[in-house]
Amino acid sequence: MQEQATTRTYHEPIIGIDIGGTHTRIGLFPSVDAPEFTLLAKFPTRPDYEEQLKNIVQVVKDQGVRRAAGIGSSIAARIAKDGHGVIFAPNLPDYIDKPFASQLSELCSSPVRLAHDTVCGLLAEARFGSLQTIERCAYLTVSTGTGAALQLGKAGTRLVASIEIGHQILDGNRRECLCGMVGCLETYTGGRQLELRYGQPVEQITAGAFWDTFADKLAIGLINLAQLTRIDVVAVSGAIALNRSSLLPELQSRINVLLKPSKLELRLATLGGTAPLVGAASLLAVPEGCILH
């Protein structure tokens, strides 16, 4: 889809919402053309869907945002293919099959766009951060889960897709994943699963062998992604990657040895933890047809 032909220009402010597994942040963006925003609110994400919806609407109305041109929302959950709600969310089960986008749109009298947080992270990095000018690329978040989004572009056209990188099966892996399958990459790299397995938060694990295995498995997952899609660059984000500066070079050196003849470059996501929020607002500038939920 040609983006130039269908992208609107917004003169009123945009609301960006990032619904994470732990916190929800709401920002006011003067324009979709810059990553700068004013933080309107940050509060714990409510497990109760109706309560969460009420809180978001309250913030938007309390702040007197009556003329928002649109609302873009990022959520740490798998989105239905039509982009209107959530279909898989281990951390937010009450949100499943609720028409979030249309309800929020009705309650705030504003157009609403919704996407997976990795899609929003990718949009933000592609527009303002480490993936600018890269046509074929991905955004990887290494956090409570291992998620990714992919962009395949050419000459002003692109498709951005949410992909289940953490739930690709690794040969010989008999570990049971929280998703219900056996053998997923995320059984080695997902913060939530690892904490349940080892009884302590990942950031407290210091054993070298643990981190060697972590990097070995994630490198294989990224090589598989590169071979299937022929992407050139991956922007890496998420709490585990951002807090452990040695992880990126460890992954890169493994990839350089194993991946032939093509190359895959890893870059630290430059927008850090704000990428999903910035990308949520950026949704309003991207035609819905360019995004495969």
As measured in angstroms, the least distance from the Cβ of 273 to Zn ion is: 24
Is residue 166 within 8 Å of residue 186, measured between CB atoms? Answer: yes
Contact residues for 149 (Cβ-Cβ < 8 A; gap 6+): 116, 118, 119, 121, 122, 138, 139, 160, 161, 162, 163
| Cα(103)–Cα(178) distance, integer angstroms | 30
- With CB under 5 A as the contact rule, which of the stretches 71-79, 122-130, 133-141, 182-190 interacts with Zn ion? 182-190
Residue 177 binds Zn ion, judged by CB under 5 A? yes
The continuous run of DSSP H or E covering 216 comes out as helix 208-229
Q: Toward Zn ion, which CB reaches closer, 26 or 76?
A: 76
Tell me whether residue 123 or residue 184 sits nearer to Zn ion (CB atom). Answer: 184
181 touching Zn ion, by CB under 5 A: yes
Question: Closest distance between Zn ion and the C-beta of residue 167, in Å?
Answer: 4
Per rule CB under 5 A, is residue 184 in the interface with Zn ion?
A: yes
Q: Which of residues 152-171 bind Zn ion (CB under 5 A)?
A: 167
- Binding residues with Zn ion: total (CB under 5 A): 5
H/E segment holding residue 60: helix 49-62
14 lines the binding site for Zn ion (CB under 5 A)? no
* CB-CB neighbours of 96 under 10 Å: 15
**What binding mask, one character per residue, do residues 99-118 give for Zn ion by CB under 5 A, x or -?**
--------------------
User: Would you give the DSSP letter of residue 177?
Assistant: P
185 is an interface residue for Zn ion by CB under 5 A? no
* Residue 148 engages Zn ion in binding (rule: CB under 5 A): no
How, if at all, do strands 265-268 and 233-237 pair? parallel
- Residue 147 phi/psi, 5-degree rounding, is -125, 165
Segment near Zn ion (CB under 5 A); pick from 80-88, 121-129, 175-183, 243-251: 175-183
Residues that bind Zn ion (CB under 5 A): 167, 177, 179, 181, 184
